[in-house]
Homo-oligomer: A and B are copies of this chain.
Amino acid sequence: MKARVIVTLKNGVLDPQGQAIEGSLASLGFGGVHGVRQGKVFDLDIEGTDVEAARSQITAMCEKLLANTVIENFAIEISN
């Protein structure tokens, strides 16, 4: 099974990288863009066919390694 994990900063957490990107976009002439936030995406192949088992395993991976749950949210998408 293929899975995608998207890790984003929680609301209220400062994102200086996103702010820098927003400034760069403005200086390149792309006006009208606000609230740029950068996150991470992980694509992975996971063995087995049980979607719920995979989801709980990936949740554990996120809590232990892929995301810092103090400041980040994560979302899991699984496709067969």
Q: Which residues of A contact B (CB under 8 A)?
A: 6-8, 18, 21-22, 24-25, 28, 30-48, 57, 60-61, 64-66
Contact = CB atoms under 8 A, between A and B. Distances in A.
Contacts of A31: 47
A57 B30 CA distance: 8
How many chain copies?
2
A21 B60 CA distance: 14
Contacts of A35: 43-45
A45 B34 contact: yes
A40 B39 CA distance: 6
A45 to B, nearest CB: 4
Contacts of A65: 21, 24-25, 28
